Amino acid sequence: MLRQGLGSLYRAADCQNDGGASHNCRKIHGDHGRHARTSRRGNGSLPEGAHTVSGPELKAIARVDLVGEISTDETGRQRFRRGVGAYPAIHDRARIINSEQLRLIFRGNKSTFAEVGRLHNDTSVPAYVDVENLVTKHFAVLGSTGVGKSSGLAVILRQVIRTWQELRVLILDHHNEYGSVFGDQANLVGAKNLRLPFWLFNFEEFSDVLYAGKPPVPAEQDILSELIPLAKTQYLNRRQSAERPSALRKVEPRQSGFTADTPAPYLMQDLLALIDERMGKLENRSSRMTHHRLIGRIETLKNDPRYAFMFANATVGGDTMVTILTELFRLEANGRPVTVIQLASLPIEVVDAVVCVISRLAFDFGMWSDGAMPLLLVCEEAHRFAAADPSVGFLPSKSALSRIAKEGRKYGVYLGLVTQRPAELDATIISQCNTLFAMRMANDRDQALLKSAVSDATANLVDFVPSLGTGEVIGFGEGMPLPVQFVFNRLSEELLPRSEAAAALPKDLNPGSRREFVNAVVERWRGSIMSHTQTDPPQEPSAADTGPSGQVRTSAGAAEDKIARALQTARREYLGR
């Protein structure tokens, strides 16, 4: 509602009518006893079918919150700003806000504003976000499963990278949904092309991988914490000798300054040799068995093809940290400012540690580069990696995300969270998100957390969260001109987020082909956990097992081809529907 003269913006929070009208309405007092009735869901515009009534016997009492004002500047242009400079007096006239005034309020005058949707109560008015405030002060998208969180996030991020071209975006994609959203602007990273060498993992992260998320063995931990720095020193001495053959003095382990957490390269074969050497000097059988079991754990992990992204160069080595950071954070964008880490393609046991490593590297790079390259880290299923319950999840991953939430903006590292259970998300992290996009949520705990996160002046909007439709959202905070209910813009079909596995086998597939498909699945399943050095029994290769250039393919490779062909057919049918 716009008050004539002062231009103050009113928003009704409650409505009481002693004439018998419903409490779910809002009445705006006008001249000569005339009243206009609007739905509480609106921001003051008159909906279709509404009517005015008059009569001296009707009275209305409205309780309103003053949230901003429209005023004329020195150039004669009207502008909207938050806050009220001149308050209304009793008996001042009130008017319904029209569409032009709504556009002025929600468009603003900043070049960093970007359109993400349309107002719910007036679809002719675009809904904008302030990209700069949205990103630099962190944001979160909250909502139950199936309400359109992924599509809404895709709309936001596409506008963010269009408006802020220097920004780099890294998405931790828990369900492999965002591969099609950004087209050729994104670099997709999965199990086949991810390179995150084991020496980039700090001691806690490497232990989490080694013990598959289970509690580590203290005696084995002591051995690793002592010998990993020695392996790093050996690698340093070997590299210095290769670079300067005349160098006589070698670095002593105690003088190297390495710890188990230092992101310096070393060879896994050196670590295994050090463990074996120490085991050979022991006489106590129990201690020897501890070393033997530790060697077995490392060898099993190193030979598991699912962990190739960590151990592909375990015996070759090389300091590839610059290349890894450049590719991971798109420091040389080449038209692709977005990196999508497809976590669903990684072993489930290692996902927590990978999220922790990437989050920690993002913050450390921002800190040591003094924020020279702004980076937005977007974490899907955030409640899994930063749980409120300290007994749930991997504690270091929560610490890494919390560090970005609390200190990241100082170093140009920003956070975007997506979760379906905000009540299970760490309260410290969610409190640092200054812009919230609330979609439909039915859980009472989630609604209570949302109410505690917004100001009293906008708390009445939270009442509509359980009844929001798919794609509808209420935006609060620094990234929004005003708290408002709106509908996200709809992306074209080919840009919508969808799981890469969202395809079924063709319905007309005959039983023989279905059995062949299942056989291929079993071969692929077994092949994924076979050792790199394990080979199939020698046999005459068939045409199906021969590649295009004539080379012989393994049974696992042939299985991959069979499954790929079946799924390509299924995916074409799925997209055709």
Q: Is the pLDDT of residue 475 over 50?
A: yes
Closest to 311 in 3D by CA, of 344, 271, 282:
271
The answer to whether residues 113 and 128 touch, using CB atoms and an 8 Å cutoff, is: yes
Q: What is the rounded CA–CA span in Å between residue 527 and residue 107? A: 56
Alpha helices in 32-171 (DSSP H): 99-107, 131-136, 149-163
Residues 408 and 465 reside in one and the same domain = yes
**pTM > 0.85:** no
DSSP single-letter state for residue 89: -
Does the pLDDT of residue 466 top 50, yes or no?
A: yes
Q: What is the pLDDT of residue 407?
A: 95
Residue 210 has pLDDT above 90, yes or no: yes
Q: Which two tokens stand for residue 361?
A: 């590297």
According to the model, what pLDDT value does residue 1 have? 38
- Write down the pLDDT at residue 462: 82
Q: What are phi and psi for residue 551, nearest 5 degrees?
A: -75, 150
**Residue 546 lies inside a defined structural domain of this protein:** no
Q: Which two tokens stand for residue 145?
A: 């499963």
Whether residue 486 sits in one domain with residue 409: yes
CA atoms within 13 A on the CB side of 471: 13
User: pLDDT band for position 70 (50/70/90)?
Assistant: confident
pLDDT for position 317: 62
The number of domains in the chain is 2
In 254-386, which ranges are E strands? 338-342, 375-379
CA-closest candidate to residue 170, choices 355, 385, 376, 359: 376
Domain boundary among 470, 497, 524: 497
Report the pLDDT value the prediction gives residue 26, as an integer from 0 to 100.
33
Of the three residues 497, 518, 544, the one that is the final residue of a domain is 497
Is residue 552 a part of any domain in this protein? no
Do residues 461 and 485 touch, judged by C-beta distance below 8 A?
Answer: yes
Whether 173 and 513 have beta carbons less than 8 Å apart is answered as no
Q: Is residue 436 within 8 Å of residue 454, measured between CB atoms?
A: yes
| Contact call for residues 403 and 365 (beta carbons, < 8 A) | no
> 62 versus 532: which is more confidently predicted?
62
Residue 539 confidence (pLDDT): 43
Determine the structural domain holding residue 215 and report its residue range.
203-243+257-312
Helices (H) and strands (E) in the chain, counts: 16, 19
Contact 261, 203 (CB under 8 A): yes
Name the residue among 339, 392, 350, 408 with its Cα closest to residue 173.
Answer: 339
Percent of the chain having pLDDT more than 70? Answer: 74
Looking at the structure, tell me whether residues 263 and 337 fall in a common domain: no
User: Which band of pLDDT confidence, cut at 50, 70 and 90, is reported for residue 65?
Assistant: confident
Q: Are the C-beta atoms of 208 and 255 separated by less than 8 Å?
A: no
Judge if 447 and 349 occupy the same domain.
Answer: yes
Q: What is the pLDDT of residues 114-125, one digit of tens each?
A: 999 999 888 899
Does pLDDT of 31 surpass 50?
Answer: no
Q: Which of 306-320, 362-376, 454-468 has the highest mean pLDDT?
A: 362-376
In the prediction, which pLDDT does 513 show? Answer: 72
pLDDT at 274: 93
Residue indicated by tokens 């609007």: 38
Among 1-10, 41-50, 450-459, 519-528, the range scoring the smallest mean pLDDT is 1-10
Asked if the model's pLDDT at residue 398 lies above 90, the reply is yes
State the pLDDT at residue 46: 41
Place of tokens 């009220």: 84
- Out of 16-25, 56-65, 237-246, least confident range: 16-25
Judgement on whether residues 299 and 448 belong to the same structural domain of the protein = no
Q: Are residues 286 and 357 in the same domain?
A: no
HEC-encoded secondary structure of 118-145: EECCCCCCEEEEEHHHHHHCCEEEECCC
β-sheet bridge partners, residue 472: 487
- pLDDT of res. 108: 65
Query: Looking at the predicted structure, is the pLDDT value of residue 531 above 70?
Result: no
Q: Tell me the pLDDT tens digit for each residue of 488-513.
A: 999 988 888 887 655 556 666 677 77
Spatial CA neighbour of 382 closest among 373, 372, 392: 392
pLDDT attached to residue 316: 59
Q: Name which of 241, 204, 249, 238 is nearest 224 in CA terms.
A: 204
Q: Does the residue 114 lie in any domain?
A: no
